[in-house]
A = this chain, B = another copy of it.
Amino acid sequence: MDLLEYQGKQLFARHDVPVPAGKPARDVEDAVAAADEVGYPCAIKAQVQIGGRGKLGGIKIANDRDEAQEHARAILGMDIRGLTVHELWIEGASQIASEYYASVVFDRSAKAPLVMLSTKGGMDIEQVADEDPDAIAHLHVDPLLGFQDFHGRRLAFEAGIDDDVVRPVAAMLAKLYEVFASEEATLVEVNPLIITPEREVRALDAKVTLDGNALYRHGQNALLRDLSAEDPQEVMAAERGLTYVKLDGDIGILANGAGLSMSTLDVVAEAGGTPANFLDAGGGSRADAITAAVEVILSDAKVKAVLFNIFGGITRCDEVARGLIEAFARIQPQVPFVVRLDGTNGEEGRQLLSEARLPGVHTEVTMDDAAAKVVELALGAGG
């Protein structure tokens, strides 16, 4: 779960990571009140889960109330790389002597957290990594031991930050690691980490990704989820225990298991079609999950045909068939379906479907044939 900047900063504050004082706002009036409270000059910052908003006009400095109103009005509702700004964060403008970059990420290859520090803050760090990799000091932390003081010192000395801030920056890294470990984050990134003219260290931005699987242990964090900032269909799917990712095409797809689901997209693409979505009905798909999945897929108006590709392991094909029958009873789909059922209870599932004689439902035996058929149907519908 990606947090908005201000949510990340509130999390930081709980772990004594210094952040500028600020307030969130959801409309212009609140934003102006917040700016008055925070004081001028202040920064009006779009809260969206995507980087690069500064260059796109999503962050502006207000020197007085009029400017605060003007900027809040301009930023609220603006589109930043496909995301609409629903929320602002207003914080006191910081004076900056130096900008650093700091992060803790979950490194899958090393199976350990990776901590990074660079003096090239405020920039696109991937670009820094490409062009000047030595400018990023990094090390892995033994997760059984945790972050030690020497880790912080070593990063600070290797990154070549100013001598007088080695200790506070090292201490900041320890706190960011604490956020990472104790909040069960998979990413904690601060860019820029600033040094003020008074030589204070402060997190000017916060990018935090929490592990959704661990939220049950962090009740306070679970409340941070901002459904309005997420794709409504993806939210609908997630509420029903499905993983749904919207894509650009016109062939709705349901499969079980992430690997088979991705493979199904690939095979449909190979056959000349364009998938409308990725939908993993999960390992043990039951009838009601299948019904929900059909609803989610058809909520995308672009869908012209739907492919069900099920190979049963835990999933039982008869349950999938029942779910499909139930879905048809409830929502009478107007687009053709191609259904391929195989694996556990595959025969029972195919038998149920055949008996139900659902309108517009075609069955196929192989994945390749099913893909070919659904592409043909979608082209026919679109043509």
Contact = CB atoms under 8 A, between A and B. Distances in A.
Interface of A: 144-145
Contacts of A145: 144
Nearest to A142: B144
Contacts of A144: 144-145
A144 B142 CA distance: 10
Instruction: Pick the 2 closest A-B CB pairs, nearest first.
Output: A144-B144, A144-B145
A294 B296 CA distance: 86
A178 to B, nearest CB: 14
Copies in the assembly, this chain: 2
A145 B145 CA distance: 9
Nearest to A145: B144
A144 B143 CA distance: 9
A177 to B, nearest CB: 17
A145 B144 CA distance: 7
Nearest to A144: B144
A19 to B, nearest CB: 26
A42 to B, nearest CB: 37
2 contacts: A144-B144, A144-B145
A217 to B, nearest CB: 13
A147 to B, nearest CB: 14
Nearest to A143: B144
A253 B145 CA distance: 43
A184 to B, nearest CB: 15
A145 B143 CA distance: 10
A149 to B, nearest CB: 13
A263 to B, nearest CB: 38
A303 B145 CA distance: 50
A143 B144 CA distance: 9
A144 B145 CA distance: 7
Nearest to A146: B144
A144 B144 CA distance: 6
A144 B146 CA distance: 10
A171 to B, nearest CB: 15
A116 to B, nearest CB: 24
A212 to B, nearest CB: 22
